[in-house]
Structure formats: structure tokens, C-alpha cells
């Protein structure tokens, strides 16, 4: 019987957790391999995410819960800080530490719908331990934020309007997730509980410190302002669409989906890119959703 089952084990976080737990002497299996077995497991960690389709992501999560809910003791959902801020239409009192969620883009909306699905279907599994773990920017070899930092230190950073170097930043290392899950390995109390992962230095960390050793410039040009306005309009339209098309929590079914193909490494582009990192499209989203949040 495996100790840990991980969905999305081919991704950045899932792949790291698979290696980290195996190194601790634990038996770790991928979700699809576990799905086709008959035994149980102590902990299931849901890392898989369908980024481009929030509703497909929610339906997949409902099916995953239906598939493993009677076979594991603990179901851990990795969440995003992006669900903890801003105006939202779902019942904030029911989850998210009582904070209203931020419905700004498909990715955080998909994470929010995942939480809605798990909370709505938890009644079917009264003995299951369900834990939500909220993550800011996650650093580590192979992760997107680490690549951004490496490019920034090499080529510099250009911050758009309304995003100054004094804006708060927040991060954890991918190993912090493994440490948290290992430290709470004995937590099998039935019901829903939540945890926020912060590093203590994020309480005072700003973007200039986050991009230490990088050249930082501010872009307040008319073009940058226009792009920011266009992005804000697009996100407002997306928020309106999610309000006009209410989401209903689906009843999960046993998952029969084939494993999703793992992304192939991008081919070498040839000459090294010397362009600076430019934060433009989701600047308001990034700044508002990454600050240090004291655990309740």
C-alpha cells in the first residue's frame, strides 16, 4: 500500500514531492497508477490542474475525489494565494479563511472552483481528512518563478505602472511544501482545515529585494498604461462572465480519463535572449495576491 499518492507528478511541484517523499523512504505512486489499483493510501496530494478551463478543472477534481475519496485517509489540495483576495461571488464564509476570493483570470478561478467542488462534495466522505494548503510564488529548480528570477538577474526587470519596487512580495521554496506535508503526516482528523505557507522574511520582503542583484526599471509610458487598461478591461469582462454563468458543483464520478500527455521540453531557441523580464498583463493581480498573509 502506498503512503503518498500524487496527481500531476510530472509537473514542477508534483515531481519534486514525488522525489522528496521517496527520499524519505515513503512509497509514492502517481494518481493514474493508483486509480487502476484496488488498495488504499494514507495521503493524496492533488497537484494536477487544467489551467485553461476552470470548469473542466473543477469537473476533473470532482471525479478525482469520487475516485480516491473512499480509499485514502487524507486529501490535500494545493491552492493559490490568488483565491484569498479581492471581490468574488462565492460564499467567502464557507472557505478561504472568510476572505472574499479574487475572480480575475482563468487560473485563480479554476483553483477557486476546485475548492468549491471539494467543499460541496465533502459531505459524501464524512470520515475523510480534507486539507487546503495556500501557496504564494513557489521557487525551485525547474519552476517558472525560478526561471523568471534567473532571467531578471541576467537581463533586468521592467516594472509597469502601479507596480513599484516597494510593493510587497512573497515566496516559498518547493521544499517547504514537502516539509509541511511531512510535519502534518499524522493529521487524520476528519473534516476540512486550511493552512497558509509563508516564510517569515516575506513579512517585510518587497519586489526590489525579491529581485536582488537585478537592474530594475519602471515603465510609465503611454503604451504601458494603455496595455494595463486593456488588461484590466479583459479581466473585468472575465469576472462578469463568471457572474452571469453561475457554476454548479458537479457530482463526481469514477475517473476514466486517460493520462494527460506530459509537456515536452521547449527546443533550444538558439541565441540567448537578452530581453529584460517585463511584468505587464497581470500586474495588479500579481501585486495584490502575493503579499505576506499571517496564518489565522
Strand partners for 129: 74, 191
Specify whether the CB–CB gap between 82 and 51 falls below 8 A.
no
pLDDT at 289: 67
The set of cell numbers assigned to 20 is: 522528496
Residue 189 has pLDDT above 70, yes or no: yes
Is residue 266 a part of any domain in this protein? Answer: no
pLDDT at 271: 67
Measured in whole angstroms, the distance separating CA 24 from the mean position of its chain's CA atoms is 24
Distance CA 140, CA 61 (A): 26
pLDDT tens digits for range 16-28: 999 999 999 999 9
pLDDT at 16: 97
Is residue 141 a part of any domain in this protein? Answer: yes
Residue 269 has pLDDT above 60, yes or no: no
Average pLDDT in the 52-56 region? 90
Is residue 89 a part of any domain in this protein? Answer: yes
Best mean pLDDT range from 8-22, 86-100, 212-226: 8-22
CATH number assigned to the domain comprising residue 179:
3.40.50.720
Residue 117 has pLDDT above 90, yes or no: yes
Residue 154 has pLDDT above 80, yes or no: yes
Look at the chain and report how many structural domains it folds into: 1
Is residue 294 a part of any domain in this protein? Answer: no
Is residue 60 a part of any domain in this protein? Answer: yes
| Residue numbers of the domain that contains 162 | 4-260+272-289
Specify whether the CB–CB gap between 289 and 102 falls below 8 A.
yes
pLDDT at 67: 97
Output 101-105 pairs: Cβ under 8 A, ≥24 positions apart: 102/285, 102/288, 102/289, 103/238, 103/239, 103/242, 103/243, 104/235, 104/238, 104/239, 104/282, 104/284, 104/285, 105/235, 105/238, 105/282, 105/285
Average pLDDT in the 35-56 region? 94
Is residue 127 a part of any domain in this protein? Answer: yes
Average pLDDT in the 236-263 region? 85
pLDDT at 263: 64
The pTM score is 0.92
Label residue 291 by pLDDT band (50, 70, 90).
Answer: confident
Is residue 158 a part of any domain in this protein? Answer: yes
Best mean pLDDT range from 100-109, 160-169, 174-183, 194-203: 174-183
Is residue 10 a part of any domain in this protein? Answer: yes
Say what percent of the chain tops pLDDT 70.
90
More reliable by pLDDT, 5 or 235: 5
Amino acid at each position: 500500500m502506498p503512503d503518498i499518492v500524487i496527481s500531476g507528478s510530472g509537473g514542477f511541484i508534483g515531481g519534486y514531492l514525488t522525489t522528496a517523499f521517496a527520499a524519505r523512504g515513503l512509497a509514492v505512486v502517481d494518481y493514474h497508477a493508483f486509480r487502476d489499483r484496488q488498495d488504499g493510501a494514507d495521503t493524496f496530494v492533488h497537484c494536477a490542474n487544467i489551467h485553461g478551463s476552470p470548469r473542466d478543472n473543477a469537473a476533473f477534481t470532482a471525479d478525482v475525489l469520487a475516485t480516491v475519496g473512499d480509499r485514502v485517509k487524507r486529501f490535500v489540495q494545493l491552492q493559490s494565494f490568488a483565491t484569498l483576495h479581492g471581490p468574488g461571488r462565492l460564499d467567502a464564509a464557507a472557505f478561504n479563511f472568510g476572505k472574499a476570493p479574487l475572480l480575475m483570470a482563468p487560473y485563480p478561478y479554476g483553483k477557486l472552483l476546485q475548492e468549491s467542488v471539494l467543499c460541496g462534495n465533502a459531505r459524501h466522505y464524512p470520515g475523510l481528512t480534507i486539507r487546503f494548503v495556500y501557496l504564494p510564488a513557489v521557487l525551485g529548480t525547474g519552476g517558472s518563478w525560478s526561471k523568471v528570477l534567473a532571467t531578471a538577474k541576467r537581463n533586468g526587470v521592467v516594472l509597469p505602472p502601479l507596480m513599484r519596487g516597494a510593493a510587497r512580495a512573497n515566496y516559498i521554496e518547493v521544499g517547504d511544501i514537502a516539509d509541511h506535508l511531512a510535519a502534518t503526516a499524522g493529521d487524520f482528523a476528519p473534516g476540512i482545515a486550511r493552512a497558509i505557507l509563508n516564510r517569515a522574511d516575506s513579512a517585510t520582503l518587497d519586489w526590489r529585494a525579491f529581485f536582488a542583484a537585478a537592474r530594475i526599471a519602471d515603465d510609465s509610458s503611454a503604451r504601458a498604461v494603455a496595455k494595463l487598461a486593456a488588461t484590466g478591461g479583459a479581466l473585468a469582462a472575465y469576472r462578469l462572465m463568471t457572474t452571469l454563468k453561475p457554476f454548479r458543483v458537479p457530482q463526481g464520478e469514477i475517473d476514466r480519463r486517460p493520462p494527460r500527455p506530459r509537456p515536452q521540453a521547449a527546443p533550444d531557441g538558439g541565441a540567448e535572449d537578452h530581453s529584460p523580464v517585463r511584468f505587464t498583463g497581470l500586474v495588479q493581480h500579481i501585486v495584490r495576491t502575493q503579499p505576506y498573509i499571517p496564518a489565522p
